[in-house]
Amino acid sequence: MHKYEKTRDSIVAGSFYPHDPYVLKMQIENYLNNATYLDIENIKALISPHAGYIYSGQVAAYSYKQIMNKKYDSIIIISPSHSEYFDFVSVFDGDAYNTPLGRVNIDKKRSKLLVESSPYINFSEYGHNNEHSIEVQLPFLQYIYGEFDFIPMVIGAQNNQNIHNIGKTIGELFGNENILIIASTDLSHYHPYGEAVMLDKQVEKLVENFDIENLQREFLKNNIEMCGGGPVAAAMSAAKALGANKAVILKYLNSGDVTGDRKAVVGYLSAALYEDKNKKESDIKMNQKKDIKNNVVSSCKKNFSSSNNTYVNNKNSSSKSNSDDVTSMKLTKKEKSILLEIAKESIKSAVLGVKSNFPTINDVALNEKCGAFVTITSNGKLRGCIGNIRAINPLWETIKTMAKEAALNDPRFYPLTAKDIENINIEISVLSPFKLINNINEISVGKHGLFIKRGFYQGLLLPQVATDYSWDRIQFLKETCKKAGLYENCWQEKNCEIYIFSATVFSEEDLAHS
């Protein structure tokens, strides 16, 4: 190994599965020999459990048995995070994972494409160093393929935004490639045997019916139990984008079937998602329409939760602003008009599927790196609102990207149609640098937005939210804490960081009346 390489060593060898390579191979071989092969063609994705092999290894073998004579360009494993919270999808930023069977290289080329193509997928160690649910899949794949490259993805926040974005991004990037996706999940936890079976049957039915929309909704409402419900929904969505139109349940067992103790069991499922080329095209399109309402991205205003993982401090929020300055950016009427026109053209291009030629932007202010949001309303009602809090791109590029996301990928609404764009109003919020405060009296309600961070938890509310809901300073702090997934008085804790910022807010209606 090169001395500068970054690898992730096994953390569960000797506990979840044997540490000795020979014993591990024999165990996997035994599981595979006892699994049924169904001769399924065009497998796009697998669902596989991630408990200790003595409990779930036999169930996992049913999934891996189906790909023993198949080759793939790359393998993407999607897992939940059991021990760390973060608000994005984490792709390991190193060179390889190690197991007792050897090294598994990261597919760096495709990993880079994923990260560059989505603001919600990031290179990171989060969710990898202490997470077992990817690692336990690797020995099966090593036994079958020997050497192969893969992409480990861990969903920090299992929400609509991250789930949808994985499927969408994988489909757009790798639609013409032979990619295998693996969703790592267990089912219900610690219910009596009979109750567990009934709960798990609900998941089986949704998977078997390839019902992405209802599976995702029921999981997010906690009506069904899967620690990896997000990875399963994301894998189903990605598999569908790659051509899959059918699913088959391969095996179900729970820990009670293995140990005989049925007082409190954990459920395990294996399944395959595949393309049945004999299926009528009209049936596929009907299912696609059924899923079009699927969730996508976190939104602003009352329903906004920080959509980016990166810690936003005043040092990198703007290359030209003083770190203690939270004054809104001053934009001329002409500059505002240009940004609104860019947003409008971006929406038109995205919705109608036509190319737009954006002019060269030489304006200094519009090339300043700023975070921003684009809000779309129709007849006074919200139709989409997406933002990026990170100051990583020129303002005009951020507006272009967020306008498209707001039009197509707000999880609360159907994507805009050609008919819809005839009657919309666009509002833009340009964020100032963020300032860390030690005294809440620095918060000016109506002027400042809040960004609260504690550990891996973080949340943001725009300045206009407090005004819209007539909140005072304390209520604004409480609501931002709740938006971050924290208890409402967490802002009083010493390790809770509070940032203020302001925003320049303008819309088409504003300019029309100015």
Q: What is the pLDDT of residue 179?
A: 97
Which has more pLDDT, 108 or 320? Answer: 108
Residues 6+ away with beta carbon under 8 Å from 328: 430, 432, 502, 503, 504
Sign of CA dihedral 172, 176, 182, 183: positive
**pLDDT score of 469 more than 60:** yes
Q: What is the mean pLDDT of residues 117-131?
A: 94
Q: What is the pLDDT of residues 171-229, one digit of tens each?
A: 999 999 999 999 999 999 999 898 899 999 999 999 999 999 999 999 999 999 999 99
Q: What is the pLDDT of residues 130-157, one digit of tens each?
A: 899 999 999 999 999 999 999 999 999 9
Q: What is the pLDDT of residues 305-344, one digit of tens each?
A: 333 332 233 323 333 333 345 666 789 999 999 999 999 9
Residue among 384, 378, 389 nearest 403 (CA) = 384
**Residue 105 pLDDT class (50, 70, 90 cuts):** very high
Helices then strands, counting H and E runs in the chain, come out as: 15, 20
Tell me if 452 sits within 8 A of 484, measured CB to CB. Answer: yes
Full set of structural domains in the chain with CATH:
7-291 (3.40.830.10), 301-512 (3.30.700.20)
**Residue 388 pLDDT class (50, 70, 90 cuts):** confident
Low-confidence winner among 15-29, 81-95, 106-120, 301-315 (lowest mean pLDDT): 301-315
Q: To the nearest 10°, the Cα dihedral for 399, 405, 407, 410?
A: -130
Q: What are the φ/ψ torsions at residue 102 (nearest 5 degrees)?
A: 120, -165
Q: What is the pLDDT of residue 79?
A: 97
Q: Which two tokens stand for residue 382?
A: 């919200």
Share of the chain above pLDDT 70, in %: 88
Q: Which two tokens stand for residue 120?
A: 């919600």
Q: What are the φ/ψ torsions at residue 422 (nearest 5 degrees)?
A: -75, -20
Place of tokens 């921003």: 372
Place of tokens 């005989």: 260
Mean pLDDT of the chain: 86
Strand-strand pairing, 381-388 and 265-274: unpaired
In 3-119 the beta strands, taken as DSSP E runs, fall at: 7-8, 43-48, 74-80, 89-92, 96-99, 102-106
Number of alpha carbons in the 13 Å side-chain half-sphere of residue 474: 2
Residues 6+ away with beta carbon under 8 Å from 190: 264, 265, 266
**Residue 28 pLDDT class (50, 70, 90 cuts):** very high
Q: What is the pLDDT of residue 308?
A: 33
Number of alpha carbons in the 13 Å side-chain half-sphere of residue 380: 0
Q: What is the pLDDT of residues 279-302, one digit of tens each?
A: 544 443 343 333 322 322 233 333
Question: Residue 489 carries which side chain, given as an amino acid letter?
Answer: N
* Residue 412 CA: distances (Å) to CA of 20, 165, 288: 50, 14, 18
Give the span between the Cα atoms of 460 and 463, in whole angstroms: 10
Residue among 315, 416, 441, 426 nearest 372 (CA) = 426
Q: Is 274 exposed, middle or buried (0-12, 13-18, 19+ CB in 10 A)?
A: buried
Q: What are the φ/ψ torsions at residue 368 (nearest 5 degrees)?
A: -65, 140
pTM value? 0.57
**Residue 411 pLDDT class (50, 70, 90 cuts):** low
> Mapping DSSP to helix (H, G, I), strand (E, B) and coil, where does residue 33 land?
helix
Q: Which two tokens stand for residue 391?
A: 């100051």
Place of tokens 């939760």: 305
Place of tokens 């939210």: 465
Low-confidence winner among 49-63, 238-252, 420-434 (lowest mean pLDDT): 420-434
**Residue 485 pLDDT class (50, 70, 90 cuts):** low
